[in-house]
Amino acid sequence: MPARRSPRQPTPWRAGAVPEPAAPVLPRRVATLSVHTSPLEQPGAGDAGGMNVYVVEVSRRLADRGIAVDVFTRATSSEQPPVVEMSPGVTVRHVSAGPFEGLGKQELPAQMCAFTAAVLREEAQHEPGHFDVVHSHYWLSGQVGWLARDRWGVPLVHSAHTLAKVKNAALAEGDEPEPRTRVIGEEQVVAEADRLVANTAEEARQLVDFYDADPRRTLVVPPGVDLDCFRPGDRQAARARVGVAPDAVVLLFVGRIQPLKAPEMLLHAAARMLATDPALRDRLEVLVVGAPSGSGLAEPQRLQELAVSLGVADVVRFVPPQAPAQLADHYRAADVAVVPSHNESFGLVALEAQACGTPVVAAAVGGLPTAVDDGVSGLLVTGRDPEGYAAAIRRVLARRELLAAGARRHAAAFSWDRTTDSLVDAYAAAMSEMGRRRVRPAHRAAEAVRLLTGGNSVGGRARR
């Protein structure tokens, strides 16, 4: 009996049997799936974060290239209109799947059938071939995309953004481990996707090592940063707008308030700095921009209470999530941005800060060693010792001007246009590959007919 072929291996085909297309066929319309969070939500609270920014920026740039985008996301309020034009060529579709409010992300798997049905119904209202590619974000979307891919006969491109096995391996204290349901779901999506998009080479390695992803289908496409919005500017003017003293030493945290992001590390580091240099209290200002999220919702005042217990409440200011223009002012006003996460698939905050000319102190985990050029645009910290962060912040403050210049140069290498170009290439390659899979069986069938009819095609003249 012949060996059973692994389902991931392509069917062997004689070279040259099917001619390659002269040029890649580009998609006309992409179905983008973002089940658990809408691109219209304000990043920095709830489930909205870097993934939301990613979907917004890529979708807009795809539309600029003439590729229409439909973003499917779950409706979370009865007041949300079913369809919203986010920008020309980008349509956000709010899908009813389960109760609008009070449904946690961990409860969403039970609503995947309803969500998928709505997505398939939308496509069914159009002529076949309405969508050319499905791009799913996060594993819940990947489950929907898997079925849509099979139903529509188009490739599935998947971006994980975070991985359960990786997160569980570096679990923050007080955080809940990701359930086995998610692990199994991720394994299924990884096995089925036509292309897997990783933010960094490290994430690509994790997909291969932890999930047995096929390296040939796993691509590294770094996210970008909006270099028009996040750019250097008048620092003192930014401080005036943010409400920071001109001579203040400003430390900044931006992100969702939850154990994974570890904002408490900045408070502990600030307390260590004040213990070493009490005179610094007159100038130190710690800005925490964000709102409770995830497991942080269980104790929404935990960070404020920690500031009191550490004796730094007088130098810490909590700021709600900010729109991009106001967020850029906070970056410009800061001396150092601190990203102490337990894990990050990339770390867009670090890149945004550097684009504004602000050096970064970040944990040496996940994608942060890619987002931060250690010793050039900031410093990476190994371990979870607050004194290590305090020491790194002091070193950055001592070299700030040099590191600020390096930060600007490093961030300039990342742009959403480059990200989008790479994704379009991935879409085209996946479409071409799927097209060849369709042509090959047809080619074989035609060859069989030719042999059976003595060399004449069906409907052709009979052999003399």
Residue with tokens 């849509």: 148
Residue 75 φ/ψ region, left for φ over 0, alpha for ψ in the -120 to 50 degree band, beta for the rest: beta
* Residue 218 counted as an annotated binding residue: no
418 is an annotated ligand-binding site residue: no
Establish whether 438 is an annotated binding residue: no
Interior/surface letters 422-432, b for 16+ CB within 10 angstroms, e for the rest: bbbebbbbbbb
* 294 annotated among ligand-binding-site residues: no
82 annotated to bind ligand: no
**Is 419 known to sit in a ligand binding site?**
no
Own/partner contacts of 388-394, CB < 8 Å, gap of 24 or more, are 389/265, 389/266, 389/268, 389/269, 389/338, 389/340, 389/361, 390/269, 390/270, 390/272, 390/273, 390/276, 392/361, 393/251, 393/269, 393/273, 393/336, 393/338, 393/361, 394/273
Structure-token match 């991935």, residue found: 426
- Angle of CA points 375, 381, 384, to nearest 5°: 175
Task: Tell me if residue 274 falls in helix, strand or coil.
Answer: helix
Burial of 263 (0-12, 13-18, 19+ CB in 10 A): buried
- In the 8-state DSSP scheme, what is residue 45? B
Q: What three-state secondary structure class fits 29?
A: strand
Cα separations (Å) of 424 from 25, 65, 83? Answer: 10, 9, 25
| 447 annotated binding-site participant | no
What burial class does residue 197 get, using C-beta atoms within 10 Å of its C-beta: 0-12 exposed, 13-18 middle, 19+ buried? Answer: buried
What does the block give as tokens for 256?
A: 């969702």
Q: Is 398 annotated as a binding residue?
A: no
CB atoms closer than 10 angstroms to residue 433 = 14
63 is in an annotated binding site: no
| 182 annotated ligand binder | yes
What the block records as the tokens of 56 is 């917004």
43 assigned binding-site residue: yes
Residue 179 marked as a ligand binder: no
Task: Report whether 37 belongs to an annotated binding site.
Answer: no
Please indicate if the annotation marks 51 as binding a ligand: yes
On whether the CB atoms of residues 415 and 225 are closer than 8 A, the answer is yes
Residue 332 known to bind ligand: yes
Question: How are beta strands 218-220 and 316-319 bridged, if at all?
Answer: unpaired
50 has binding-site annotation: yes
- Confirm whether residue 352 is marked as ligand binding: yes
- Is 5 a known ligand-binding residue? no
Q: Is 4 annotated as a binding residue?
A: no
Task: State the Cα–Cα distance between residues 287 and 279, nearest whole angstrom.
Answer: 19
10 annotated as a binding-site residue = no
Residues making up the annotated binding site are 36, 42-43, 47-52, 105, 138, 162, 182, 256, 261, 322, 331-332, 334, 344, 352, 358
Residues making up the annotated binding site for UDP-N-acetyl-alpha-D-glucosamine are 42-43, 50, 256, 261, 322, 344, 352
Residues making up the annotated binding site for Mg(2+) are 331-332, 334, 358
Residues making up the annotated binding site for 1D-myo-inositol 3-phosphate are 36, 47-52, 105, 138, 162, 182
